[in-house]
């Protein structure tokens, strides 16, 4: 059966109009929870980017000079290899460094254009046997100032702390967001239940005269979807507005290597798309539950 | 048009509301269902429009096996059935015209059809001059006429009426019965549950009497008792 668009739109609008207060409540609940999810994702991306070199157990990096000779590189490599304090070792030549650079700045191509492989220092990523700060400092001092070595940088406690805090906050944020999303589902469900109750006589007549099930359901499904969607749009708006403040508040000077944190539009587009999908999903699921519980009796 | 084969309906854990009913109603018949309250009249009606499914037996309505009809097909069955109730079931926030138009609108009839059908059916039920009134501005008899207009506007094959005169005084009831008779004359099968003795006796149509769920009488040109 052809669904009549004007009818569907009119009925949905009427439902929303009749239950304005609770509709606002459910939309706000969706938007707050999605904004929280968005901030958590944004923070995680930012911190991951900033600490991207320090994946796994890598505790320090020996950066070679760009002009260092292959003999010098060879020498450091052998020395690290034979060092009993070193558990694992990865060598990044200039090509690999460039690959990594492109990865880290995948969303800011203008940055990548200014750099070539030849500009980037080769490096050794070192996992020491003993990961205590003292042991790492001892190892670092052995390589600091060696011929061909530009500098040796360590995964400072600051980075570890930031990672730990970021992980903790992200988990807490996501947990709270999930709880809020469940609350949002319940509120939307109640809103739709209310809309169904308000219109029970109309629904009874519709059934009686042979309106198809989908015809009866769609305005309510659409109402749920809309609440989720509007909530998501508000959340995205809030994220876009607060993003600059959020970036400023990150302790950039604590992050030694690439302190520049940017959340480019490409990166955010993915997050926004994700939030929109979650919003629509939450609204539709809530409406579907309400409709199947209170309509299909 | 309507056939019941050994139909039994038992509500959860209760005594049967209808037991082993066998009825055959032809196209164009006018049938009264009579019996005391709780005798199974309403259950009979509700089985026909598939608000209930039989516990046992088979029901055929307008060529369809209602007992095994999937729920997605029920709306299409109901488009062939008009239903009228004691409490009219009108939408109080809609005018007479809107109430009748609603029935066509929600089954997706085009606006042009609605615009031509609604005034015609209001003319038929004698409410052309009340088209823009709201239900609360109408008398009980007028409200029931609106309800009949809504049930009949889609030209169903069958009209089911559950105590349509239950809330009306005798004079008004006569008017409603005349209207149902006119509808019946167009070839529409009418099944009406009632315990209005005078109406049944006056009309002398087929009477099916129910008592505690069993059909105890099925009589052409019958009276109430």
Could you tell me which residues are beta bridge partners of residue B23?
B4
Mean pLDDT, range B107-132, rounded to an integer: 94
Nearest CA of chain B to the CA of A171: how many Å? 45
What pLDDT, on the 0 to 100 scale, is given for residue A54? 62
- 3-state SS of chain B: helix, strand, coil percent to 5? 35, 25, 35
B112 — contact with chain A (CB < 8 Å)? no
Mean pLDDT, range B116-133, rounded to an integer: 95
What pLDDT, on the 0 to 100 scale, is given for residue A254? 44
Q: Look at B75 and A210 and tell me if their CB atoms are within 8 Å.
A: yes
Of B83, B105, B108, the CB nearest to A208: B83
Residues of A in contact with B78 (CB under 8 A): 207-210
Of B76, B79, B89, the CB nearest to A205: B89
Q: Residue B171: which residues within 8 A CB-CB, separation 6 or more? A: none
Q: Which among A47, A65, A64 is positioned nearest to A55, based on CA atoms? A: A47
pLDDT tens for B8-30 read: 999 987 788 999 999 999 999 99
B150 — contact with chain A (CB < 8 Å)? yes
Of B71, B78, B105, the CB nearest to A7: B105
Q: Look at B78 and A208 and tell me if their CB atoms are within 8 Å.
A: yes
Own/partner pairs, A69-75, CB within 8 angstroms, 24+ separation: A69/A148, A72/A147, A72/A148, A73/A122, A73/A148, A75/A146, A75/A147, A75/A148
What pLDDT, on the 0 to 100 scale, is given for residue B138? 96
What pLDDT, on the 0 to 100 scale, is given for residue A6? 76
Give the chain B residue nearest A5 (alpha carbons).
B108
Question: Which of the four pLDDT bands, split at 50, 70 and 90, describes residue B86?
Answer: very high
The span from the CA of A257 to the CA of A231, in Å, is: 38
B72 — contact with chain A (CB < 8 Å)? yes
Cβ atoms within 10 Å, residue A154? 18
The rounded mean pLDDT for chain B is 93
Kindly provide the b/e burial profile for residues A108-134, where b requires at least 16 CB atoms within 10 angstroms of the residue's own CB: eeebbeeeeeeebbbbbbbebeeeeee
What pLDDT, on the 0 to 100 scale, is given for residue A233? 96
Residues of A in contact with B150 (CB under 8 A): 205, 209
pLDDT tens for B213-224 read: 999 999 988 888
pLDDT tens for B169-208 read: 999 999 999 999 999 999 999 999 998 999 999 999 999 9
pLDDT tens for B144-172 read: 999 999 999 999 999 999 999 999 999 99
Of A2, A204, A207, the CB nearest to B108: A2
Q: Look at A212 and B103 and tell me if their CB atoms are within 8 Å.
A: no
Q: What is the pTM of this model?
A: 0.71
Q: Judge contact between B121 and B149, C-beta under 8 A.
A: yes
Which of B48, B80, B102, B106 is most worth mutating to test chain A (most A CB atoms within 10 A of its CB)? B106
Of B89, B92, B107, the CB nearest to A210: B107
- pLDDT per residue, tens digit, chain A (297 aa), is 445 677 778 877 887 787 888 889 889 989 999 998 888 887 777 776 666 666 566 667 888 888 888 888 888 888 888 888 888 888 888 888 888 878 777 766 776 777 777 888 888 888 877 777 677 777 778 888 788 888 887 766 556 777 777 788 888 888 988 898 898 899 999 989 988 888 888 999 999 999 988 888 888 999 999 999 999 999 999 988 887 776 665 544 444 443 444 555 456 788 899 999 999 999 999 999 999 888 765
Residues of B in contact with A215 (CB under 8 A): 106-108
What pLDDT, on the 0 to 100 scale, is given for residue B208? 95
The span from the CA of B48 to the CA of B69, in Å, is: 12
A292 — contact with chain B (CB < 8 Å)? no
> In chain B, what percentage of residues exceed pLDDT 90?
82
Kindly provide the b/e burial profile for residues B85-104, where b requires at least 16 CB atoms within 10 angstroms of the residue's own CB: bbebbbbeebbbbbbbbbbb
The span from the CA of A133 to the CA of A139, in Å, is: 10
* Max Cα distance, chain B (Å): 50
B11 — contact with chain A (CB < 8 Å)? no
A259 — contact with chain B (CB < 8 Å)? no
């Amino acid at each position: 059966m052809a669904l009549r668009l004007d009818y569907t739109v009119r009925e949905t609008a009427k439902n929303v109009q009749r239950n304005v207060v609770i509709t606002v409540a459910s939309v706000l609940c969706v938007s707050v929870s999605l904004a929280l999810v968005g901030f958590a994702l944004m923070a995680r991306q930012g911190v991951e980017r900033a600490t991207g070199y320090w994946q796994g157990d890598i505790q320090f990096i020996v950066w070679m000079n760009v002009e260092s000779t292959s003999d010098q590189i060879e020498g450091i490599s052998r020395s690290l290899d034979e060092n009993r304090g070193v558990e694992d070792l990865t060598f990044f030549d200039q090509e690999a460094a460039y690959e990594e650079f492109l990865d880290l700045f995948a969303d800011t191509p203008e940055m990548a254009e200014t750099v070539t492989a030849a500009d980037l220092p080769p490096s050794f990523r070192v996992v020491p046997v003993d990961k205590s700060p003292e042991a790492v400092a001892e190892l670092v001092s052995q390589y600091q100032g060696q011929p061909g070595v530009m500098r040796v940088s360590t995964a400072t406690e600051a980075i570890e702390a930031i990672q730990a805090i970021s992980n903790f906050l992200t988990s807490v944020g996501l947990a709270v967001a999930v709880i809020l999303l469940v609350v949002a589902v319940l509120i939307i469900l109640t809103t739709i239940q209310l809309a169904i109750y308000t219109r029970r006589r109309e629904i009874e007549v519709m059934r009686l005269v042979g309106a198809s099930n989908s015809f009866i359901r769609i305005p309510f499904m659409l109402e749920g979807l809309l609440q989720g969607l509007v909530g998501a749009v508000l959340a995205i708006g809030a994220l876009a507005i607060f993003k600059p403040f959020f970036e400023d508040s990150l302790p950039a000077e604590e992050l030694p290597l690439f302190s520049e944190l940017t959340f480019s539009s490409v990166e955010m587009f993915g997050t926004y798309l994700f939030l929109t999908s979650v919003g629509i999903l939450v609204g539709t699921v809530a409406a579907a539950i309400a409709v199947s519980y209170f309509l299909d009796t | 048009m309507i056939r019941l084969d050994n139909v039994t309906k038992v509500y959860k854990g209760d005594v049967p509301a209808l037991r082993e009913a066998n009825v055959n109603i032809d196209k164009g018949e006018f049938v009264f269902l009579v019996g005391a309250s709780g005798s199974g009249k309403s259950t009979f009606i509700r089985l026909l429009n598939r608000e209930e499914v039989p516990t046992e037996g088979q029901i055929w309505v307008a060529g369809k096996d209602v007992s095994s009809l999937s729920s997605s097909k029920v709306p299409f069955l109901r488009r062939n059935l008009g239903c009228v109730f004691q409490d009219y079931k009108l939408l109080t926030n809609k005018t007479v015209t809107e109430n009748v138009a609603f029935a066509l609108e929600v089954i997706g009839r085009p606006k042009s059809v609605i615009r031509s059908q609604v005034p015609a059916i209001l003319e038929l039920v004698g409410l052309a001059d009340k088209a823009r009134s709201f239900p609360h501005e109408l008398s009980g008899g007028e409200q029931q006429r609106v309800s009949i207009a809504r049930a009949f506007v889609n030209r169903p094959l069958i009209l089911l009426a559950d105590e349509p005169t239950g809330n009306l005084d005798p004079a008004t009831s006569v008017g409603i019965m005349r209207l149902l008779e006119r509808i019946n004359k167009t070839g529409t099968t009418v099944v009406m549950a009632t315990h209005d003795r005078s109406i049944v006796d006056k009309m002398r149509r087929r009477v099916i009497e129910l008592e505690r769920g069993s059909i105890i009488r099925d009589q052409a040109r019958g009276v109430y008792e």
